[in-house]
Structure formats: C-alpha cells, structure tokens
Amino acid sequence: MLHHSHGIYILASDPQYDQLLALIHSIAANVSPQIPICVIPGNDSTQRIEQEIAQRDNLSLFDDAASLARWESFGAAVWQSLPVVNRLSQRYAEGYGDREPFRRFCAFDGPFEKFVFYDVASLAMKPLDDCWAKLEDYDFVVDDWQHCRPLASSAFNRGVLNRDRRAALGLVTLSGRVHGSSWFGAKRGAIDLAALARLRDRLIHQGEAQWLNALNWWSADELFSYMTLRCQERGPAKLFNYSRSPNLMERTGNCALGDDFVAVGPVLYSVAHAPQPPQLKPIHRLNYGQYSSFDFALLCEGETVAIPYDYLFCTTAIARPSSGGGPRGGDRPPCPHRPRPWAGARQPAVLLWPCPSGGGRRSPWTIGSPARFLAPAP
C-alpha cells in the first residue's frame, strides 16, 4: 500500500454502502476532491464497496489482516477482562460478532502520515487544514462533547480512580480527557506495537481496565479515552479537543439529533450568539451516530424516514458534478429528487437554498421559521 502525507479513514461494510457514498461525496465537495480515502472493512462484506473503489482513483481498501486481527483482539480482550461484564461481553461477541468498533484503530497502522478518521454515519462539512496544522503540536485531535456527559455514564469509573494512586492526574483533569472516537486526527504510529503492548499490559495485567466504566462495556469511545491517556510512557499524550478550545468559534455542535444548525446551501453551521452580532461557525461534520444503516437504506429507497437533515443526506448521497466523484456504484436507485415533507424530524433553523415556493430566489426565512419543503441543491 502506497504511503501518503495526508488521508482519511472510514470504517464501513456493505450494509453501510449508502452512508459511505454520502460521506465520500461530502468529503469531495467540502474537504478535497483529491484527498486519499482508505476504507477500513467493518467485516468481510465489502463486495459493493470494492466495486466502488474500482471506479475511484483516490479510494482504497485497508487490507492488513494482521492489523485488523490485532485491534479486534485487543478491544475484545480488554472488555472481557472486566469480571462484571465478562459474561455479557462473551454473549455479545458470540451472538453478534461485533468487534467492528475496534477496527477503526487500524488507522494507526495505515498508509497516511497524518490522518483523520470519520465515522461512516457522518457527513463532512469543512476542510481539514486547521486539523493538519494542530497535529504539528498535538498527538491527537478530537471534536466532541463526551467530556460533558454525566458522571454515571462517563468513560472512567470515578470510584475506582479515587482509590487508584496511579490515576495521579486527578478527576477534574481526567474529565477533560474524555472524548469519543467517531472523529479524530492523529499521525501514523501514534499508537504503535510497543504502545499497544504497553496498553494491553496496563489494562489487563495491571488491572487498569477497572478504570473504565463498566456501564459502557464494549465501547470504542471509552477505550480510546484511556488509550490517549496511557499510550505513552512519559505521561498523557497531548490532546486537543475543539469543543474545549479557547477560541469559541471552534466550539461547535456536530450531532444531527441534538444540535441546531444553520444551512447555507449543502453546508451546515453552528451559530455563535455571543459576541454580537451572531456569527456562523463552520462544523467539521454532521454526526448521524444515533441512526442505523437500515434507516438510511430506506431513505435511499424513497421512503419517508424521520432523519434530521434528510434532504442533505439525499443530495450528498448522489455525486454532484462539482464533487469530482465518480459515478454512483451498485444498483440501488438514488434518493428521489423531489420536494419532500419534513417528516417531523429536526431541521435547520434557517435555509439559504432555492426552494419551489421561492421562485429560485434565496430563502427569506429567519431563524425559528423552518421551511415546509425543500428542493435539491442546484
């Protein structure tokens, strides 16, 4: 596999094909049409993805079987080492075979010197220049609000940490180290074989797996928070979280279900209400993590599904001429290009997009007054 200076990883398999296409097209339109993209297979079901790869020069499939097996084994071994969840973990693994979440960490073994990982259940919204620059000063870059979760559902078991002297950072500092794994940037080898062996020893043999919150068992997010904290011998790795940035313009939402955005054409923005006047804040991605691939498959078949910003997903799932993407692969019919009702889902507060009732003019709607119907982007 050829090495590149910068690239993007996506974890996906054939059931997520429609989501993968939408994310690839959003990357081409909003990040770069030429940036290399490597798909990490979530499982062995990749026939449709491989057909798509054959049509795109910048798309490849991660094929390091040793790396895939290594990260699957690591994630499963850590969670199964917790006595309180061992039985549940074994039943979960046997019943569903779901070790896919841990495969995302194969990005550390891949061909890109600097990379950003996108969860397939997302749409890219802005270039990554600032992220590449931050990786000159930080080991890991993330952008989420997991650190704001209630203590009971946080990544770390606070009761155990209170008793464990090895957790010398203190609980307040540890709260700031909590983050997710749906979007992150790093350098190749940031967690290499030596670091992985060190993590395995600390978690399993030294009992630090007890630091993890058992309520979140089998989660890649909680494990990744620990990994960025303990992967280095000298101390915690240098971590930058945009949601904790001193620059308030870098603190944005990303959740399709819970956050409000302003749509300007095919791009969403958060709104900074202070200082006045309100300003639009670019977001890195729209996260659809709360919705299943089945929901998006129905949407792409023309069904009405209550997915926020469904119009945006549909217009992105089909390659636009400006995106530089190849033809749509597979045999699934595209999302219908027709005005559709909102289906009761959360929609942007303001739409700056030509709509049927607007006669092709820019929308006059203001914040708090969403439209009832929307036409695809020109």
Domains of the chain, earliest start first: 4-244 (3.90.550), 249-358 (no CATH)
- Tell me what the mean pLDDT of segment 225-246 comes to: 91
Q: How confident is the model over 52-70, as pLDDT tens digits?
A: 999 999 999 999 999 999 9
In this predicted structure, the answer to whether residue 45 has a pLDDT above a threshold of 70 is yes
Report the range out of 20-34, 96-110, 341-355 with the highest average pLDDT.
20-34
Q: pLDDT confidence of 178, banded at 50, 70, 90?
A: confident
Strand order in the sheet with 59-61: 59-61, 37-41, 4-12, 112-119, 183-187, 140-142, 239-241
- Tell me what the mean pLDDT of segment 211-231 comes to: 85
Number of Cβ within a 10 Å radius of residue 30: 21
Q: Please give the residue that has the higher pLDDT: either 12 or 348.
A: 12
Look at the block and give the residue holding tokens 């290009």: 337
| Rounded CA separation 59/49 (Å) | 10
Q: How confident is the model over 68-126, as pLDDT tens digits?
A: 999 999 998 888 887 765 555 555 554 444 558 899 999 999 999 999 999 999 999 99
Q: Please give the residue that has the higher pLDDT: either 123 or 352.
A: 123
- Tell me what the mean pLDDT of segment 224-239 comes to: 90
Element (DSSP H or E) covering residue 8: strand 4-12
Tell me the CB-side half-sphere exposure of residue 275, using CA atoms within 13 A. Answer: 1
- Tell me what the mean pLDDT of segment 26-37 comes to: 96
Q: Where are the beta strands (DSSP E) in 51-111?
A: 59-61
Phi, psi of 376, rounded to the nearest 5 degrees: -60, 160
Indicate the pairing of strand 267-272 with strand 262-264.
antiparallel
Q: Which of 153-157, 236-240, 272-276 has the lowest mean pLDDT?
A: 272-276
Q: pLDDT confidence of 275, banded at 50, 70, 90?
A: low
- Tell me what the mean pLDDT of segment 321-328 comes to: 37
Look at the block and give the residue holding tokens 């896919």: 100
- Tell me what the mean pLDDT of segment 332-341 comes to: 38
Least Cα distance to 58 among 25, 83, 88, 82 occurs for: 25
